Amino acid sequence: MPNNRFSDLFAEADAAFNGQYRKELNQLMGLSKEEIDAVTPCTEDLRVYAVLTRVVEEASRDNLSQAELVQNIRELGDTAVKIARKVPKFALLL
């Protein structure tokens, strides 16, 4: 694929989806709005979900340790922790 203004974005996405947390990232991104609403029905929570997916994406791309990722998720607050627990591996870690 020739380089264009989106090349860096594609490279970042590839790194995230091929990284250490690719399975968890796919599971997290596969949650439906209903699944998120079941955990916490506030519209603000979709914003938290978006930030959470970005945090996991960056952790996967940068190969962060589990401890670092768990700390980052906890720093996002209770809502992020509740949503993250919908992913089996994160449920065990949180």
**pLDDT tens, position by position, 32-74:** 888 887 877 676 777 888 899 989 988 888 888 999 999 999 9
Amino acid at 75: E
pLDDT at 73: 93
The structure's pTM equals 0.72
With beta carbons less than 8 A apart as the criterion, state whether 83 and 37 touch: no
pLDDT at 67: 92
With beta carbons less than 8 A apart as the criterion, state whether 43 and 67 touch: no
